[in-house]
């Protein structure tokens, strides 16, 4: 409590100077505090201890990964398994009496030497008193680098069984970490905060990494000594780097198109930044958005036909939506004449019409979500604690990773835009511009349905 209060004081001290320059009491007109509204109640789920034919300890570890993934999916109320129901056949009546809707069992069968396991997951529907889904997944041995990802993919299938929608456990987040000596590390971490590792170290500025749709490459901007910025594509397997943008000067905020054939970015064009799209096969580039003002940070809609982007052409940075073919840009962030406004870093959900960005509210940056299908409608401010920036959607279109400075620690956090539940992903130092990957692994289809 003491520590908490102290850090809160520090935060207030940090925040105070801003008060002199802006109206720190108001939430901007057109912004409402709260989460994305969904009527669905979260069903209660119990995950029983996983078993293994040969009693290997891998069962417990695999069970822990699956249980945590399902918890982090925020689709379920996780129910603590009572000791008397820990094993044996599922007693539907008793579970039903506890208001538990689903019970998940898992069993590991060792395959051949070094081949890992077969993980059989059985999801019981307590309400209907029957097995809802059952499937066997191949899991490489724990020593294999893709072991955890295979377990995450199995957990994502459980989410799909229940909700019909994809999970996000089998994914990673790429981000930039700034060392004390000014060097930058390109880092990657699994969606559950495990497997944190460095991909590359750069001596100078490094910004805005973004995943290719197949998860095999990342593209990012690198600052040079002469003040120019290059956009570099990196093959994660080989480490080979390719310079993408060829314009002189400032090239930044690259993203891949959903089909992976193009990269859109902001580049210096005359007096300011405009948005260009580069065809990776031909290397040809075309201008998507020109004219006065700095246009940057483009992000594709899931079908690749529209973009959201950041522009300060009206004198303050705002979020707009337009067709990739050009034409009129529609304002998405709230604008009120005479009121200060500052919105930046848009990211379009890979699953919905929601665009996340950060905006200044009560003098602090907060994560906000707007519906690109209904420009002009109210924007939801989904964070309130601390300073929050640079959101990126998970492949489930529901979770958002962002940079936060808050009393519980500075670093990357994950928020569920529906429930508001927030967890730290990686804490420490200066961690910046995270990008959440697409789903990196789909569970292999060794299906045995309806047991």
Partner 1 sequence: MQKRIILPALVGALLVGACGGKQPPQQAGPTPEELAAQARADSIEAARRAEEERRRLEEERRRAEEEARRRAEEEARRAREIFAERVHFDFDKFDIRMSDQETLRRKAAVLRANPNVRVRIVGHADERGSDEYNLALGLRRANAVRDFLVSLGIDPSRFETASMGEEQPLVRASNEEAWAQNRRAEFQLVSGELTRAGM
Among the listed residues 137, 167, 151, 6, the one whose alpha carbon sits nearest the alpha carbon of residue 71: 167
Q: Which is nearer to partner 1, 15 or 27 (CB)?
A: 15
Residue 406 touching partner 1 (CB under 8 A): no
The interface mask with partner 1, positions 173-212, x = CB under 8 A, is ---------x---------------------xx-xx----
Residue 284: partners with Cβ closer than 8 Å, 6 or more residues away: 278
Pairing relationship of beta strands 117-125 and 206-211 according to DSSP bridges: unpaired
Q: Which is nearer to partner 1, 389 or 416 (CB)?
A: 389
Output the smallest distance, CB 433 to partner 1, in A.
Answer: 5
Output the smallest distance, CB 140 to partner 1, in A.
Answer: 37
Distances, alpha carbon 25 to alpha carbons 15, 21, 28, 250, in Å: 12, 12, 10, 36
Residue 435 touching partner 1 (CB under 8 A): no
Q: Which is nearer to partner 1, 76 or 357 (CB)?
A: 357
- Number of residues located near partner 1, criterion CB under 8 A: 38
Reduced to 3 states, what is the DSSP secondary structure of residue 330?
Answer: strand
Per CB under 8 A, the list member of 1, 2, 3, 17 interacting with partner 1 is: 17
Per CB under 8 A, the list member of 7, 24, 163, 228 interacting with partner 1 is: 228
- Rounded to a whole number of angstroms, the CA Rg of the chain reads 23
Among the listed residues 379, 380, 310, the one whose alpha carbon sits nearest the alpha carbon of residue 347: 310
Among the listed residues 346, 421, 349, 361, the one whose alpha carbon sits nearest the alpha carbon of residue 391: 346
Pairing relationship of beta strands 409-416 and 422-427 according to DSSP bridges: antiparallel
Output the smallest distance, CB 35 to partner 1, in A.
Answer: 23
Q: How far apart are CA 274 and CA 295, in angstroms?
A: 5
The total of other beta-carbon atoms located within 10 Å of residue 303's CB is: 9
Output the smallest distance, CB 327 to partner 1, in A.
Answer: 22
Span near partner 1 by CB under 8 A; candidates 91-99, 239-247, 268-276, 283-291: 268-276
Residue 432 touching partner 1 (CB under 8 A): yes
Output the smallest distance, CB 432 to partner 1, in A.
Answer: 6
Per CB under 8 A, the list member of 191, 299, 310, 352 interacting with partner 1 is: 310
Per CB under 8 A, the list member of 27, 294, 330, 418 interacting with partner 1 is: 294
Residue 325 touching partner 1 (CB under 8 A): no
Per CB under 8 A, the list member of 2, 21, 84, 143 interacting with partner 1 is: 21
Q: Which is nearer to partner 1, 14 or 128 (CB)?
A: 14
Q: Which is nearer to partner 1, 388 or 439 (CB)?
A: 388
The total of other beta-carbon atoms located within 10 Å of residue 15's CB is: 16
Q: Which is nearer to partner 1, 24 or 163 (CB)?
A: 24
Q: How far apart are CA 435 and CA 318, in angstroms?
A: 21
Among the listed residues 331, 312, 256, 360, the one whose alpha carbon sits nearest the alpha carbon of residue 23: 360
Q: How far apart are CA 73 and CA 297, in angstroms?
A: 28
Residue 433 touching partner 1 (CB under 8 A): yes
Per CB under 8 A, the list member of 71, 371, 390, 396 interacting with partner 1 is: 390
Nearest-5° Cα angle at 245, 239 to 250: 110
CB 272 within 8 A of CB 293: yes
Output the smallest distance, CB 111 to partner 1, in A.
Answer: 46
Output the smallest distance, CB 271 to partner 1, in A.
Answer: 6
DSSP secondary structure of 119-131: EEEEEEETTTTEE
Q: How far apart are CA 189 and CA 293, in angstroms?
A: 35
CB 394 within 8 A of CB 376: no
Residues near partner 1 (CB under 8 A) are: 14, 17-18, 21, 182, 204-205, 207-208, 223, 226-229, 249-250, 252-253, 266, 268, 271-273, 294, 296-297, 310, 312, 317, 342, 344-345, 358, 365, 389-390, 432-433
């Amino acid at each position: 409590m003491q520590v908490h209060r102290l850090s809160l004081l520090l935060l207030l001290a940090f925040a105070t100077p801003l008060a002199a320059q802006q109206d720190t009491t108001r939430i901007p007109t057109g912004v409402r505090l709260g989460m994305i509204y969904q009527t669905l109640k979260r069903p209660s789920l119990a995950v029983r201890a996983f078993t293994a034919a040969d009693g290997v300890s891998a069962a417990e570890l695999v069970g822990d990964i699956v249980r945590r993934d399902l918890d982090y999916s925020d689709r379920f109320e996780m129910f603590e398994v009572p000791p008397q129901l820990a094993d044996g056949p599922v007693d539907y009546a008793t579970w039903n009496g506890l208001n538990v809707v689903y019970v998940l069992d898992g069993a590991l069968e060792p395959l051949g030497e070094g081949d890992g396991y077969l993980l059989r997951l059985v999801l019981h529907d307590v309400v209907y008193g029957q097995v809802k889904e059952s499937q066997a997944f191949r899991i490489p041995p724990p020593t294999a680098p893709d072991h955890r990802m295979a377990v995450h993919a199995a957990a994502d299938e459980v989410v799909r069984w229940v909700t019909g929608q994809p999970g996000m456990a089998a994914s990673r987040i790429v981000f930039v970490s700034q060392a004390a000596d000014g060097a930058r590390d390109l880092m990657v971490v699994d969606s559950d905060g495990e497997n944190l590792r460095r991909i590359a170290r750069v001596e100078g500025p490094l910004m805005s990494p973004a995943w290719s749709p197949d998860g095999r490459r990342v593209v990012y901007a690198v600052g040079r000594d002469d003040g120019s910025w290059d956009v570099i594509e990196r093959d994660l397997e080989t480490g080979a780097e390719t310079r993408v943008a060829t314009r002189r000067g400032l090239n930044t905020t690259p993203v891949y198109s959903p089909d992976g054939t193009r990269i859109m970015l902001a580049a210096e064009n005359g007096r300011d930044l405009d948005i260009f799209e580069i065809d990776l096969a031909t290397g040809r580039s075309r201008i998507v958005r020109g004219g006065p003002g700095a246009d940057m940070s483009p992000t594709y809609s899931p079908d690749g036909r529209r973009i959201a982007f950041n522009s300060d052409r009206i004198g303050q940075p705002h979020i707009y939506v337009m067709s990739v073919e050009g034409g009129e840009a529609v304002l998405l962030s709230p604008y009120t004449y005479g009121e200060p406004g500052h919105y930046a870093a848009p990211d379009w959900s890979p699953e919905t019409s929601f665009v996340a960005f950060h905006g200044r509210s009560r003098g602090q940056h907060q994560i906000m979500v707007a519906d690109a299908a209904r420009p002009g409608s109210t924007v939801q401010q989904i964070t309130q604690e601390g300073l929050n920036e640079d959101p990126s959607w998970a492949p489930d279109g529901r979770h958002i990773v962002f940079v936060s400075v808050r009393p519980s620690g500075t670093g990357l956090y994950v928020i569920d835009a529906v429930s508001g539940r927030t967890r730290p992903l990686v804490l420490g130092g200066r961690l910046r511009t995270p990008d959440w990957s697409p789903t990196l692994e789909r569970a292999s289809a060794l299906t045995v349905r309806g047991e």
